[in-house]
Structure 1
Amino acid sequence: MTQTPLIHNLLANPLTGEQIEERSFACIDQLAPEHQFLPDQWQVVRRLIHTTADLGLMELVKFSPDALDSGVAALQAGRPIFTDSNMIRSGLSLARLRSIFPGYEPDSICCHVADNDVALEARQSGLPRSLFAMRKAAAMADGGILLFGNAPVALLELNRMIIEEGIRPALVVAMPVGFVHVVESKDELMQLGVPYIALAGRRGGSPLAVAALHAVCSVVAQKER
């Protein structure tokens, strides 16, 4: 049997990557049920759906009332960014960040989970490295942007710092994934009165945390037009 590869359909009717993305967003807008998200919030939710092709995420995404205003202001001010995994750090687009604040540099995005001193503390204590990575980033956490897609223990430690040390992040993207400490870390954060975008329940992951911040960048870009 002779089969014509499907790629020939695209070659005969070319679409750029940007056009494919635009069509994808149009499909999401068409398929999504009615919702109560504000337009800027919907940009974030739609980006998360685009990342996963999962409309079910609509029921899980939660925003504090000040999340986007605070996140936009933090990006425009070039506030430092903490990530709980190097996957998030690698996935964030420096070009997107620089389109909002030209002064963003690779060192503006901080991840300490692989640092030698963090690994040593974790071995000595029998606790996860992510906890000590969060402690090492305490100075930038106050007023910074914090992204969690992997390590609920790091989020629990941030919650402690908010409660006990008065740390006030500009925005927390709370999307760790898994089964242990995940739900409670998000639920606790959402009670602390700090700006957050969270994915309730066990679902999450580094790609979603990246997508969320990229969507906030898009919100900034629209506001600046």
Structure 2
Amino acid sequence: MAAKRLYERLFGLKNLPSELGDDAERQMLTDYLDSIIKYSFHARNQLLLSEGQEAGYIYFLVKGIARGYYNDPSDGQERTVIIWDELSIFTDPSGFFENSPSGLNVEVMAGSQLLFISRPQLEELYRLFPYAEVFTIRMTSHYSAYFAKRSHDLVSLSAWERYQQLLKNYPQIELKITKKIIASYIDIAPQSLSRLIKENGHP
């Protein structure tokens, strides 16, 4: 059932290669994926990747939430730069796709369920099914658009507007992660977030 959700996500993308329109070819691809995909459940918050480590895996979030953050050397504070919610395919994009040490810590929250494969497994998948590389192309394009918009929002929106946008993009996220993480994502101190909520009420 978990893998079925992944396949619905992948095959629901637009403008896929013609090979993926063939039922027999699609079945061969999913059968192969079934043979290599691993599953994990995380009862507690857990780091999947730390800064400086090799980003060796790519994940699918069946259920739960995860985030990518770094520790700011200027003050030692965590800076959350990306949040992944249910049905996201995720990794540290620069570390994984550029095969370089990760610049992010990747943390999965308590109660999350994941599917994952390693970099060598992905490379072998693309060797056997070259057209499947479209998924990586789409993923890198998504990350480029995401970080461009995030950079724009950090300078063009107020902290309150960023908070409202976060709640819109990730419904009920305030029940899934701490205010400290939310504050780091919208780039303000936790006490500033508490003050904004007190002044404006919950959106």
TM-score by length of 1: 0.24
More helix, by proportion:
1
- TM-score, reference length from structure 2: 0.26
Q: Which has the higher contact order (CA 8 A, sep 6+)?
A: 1
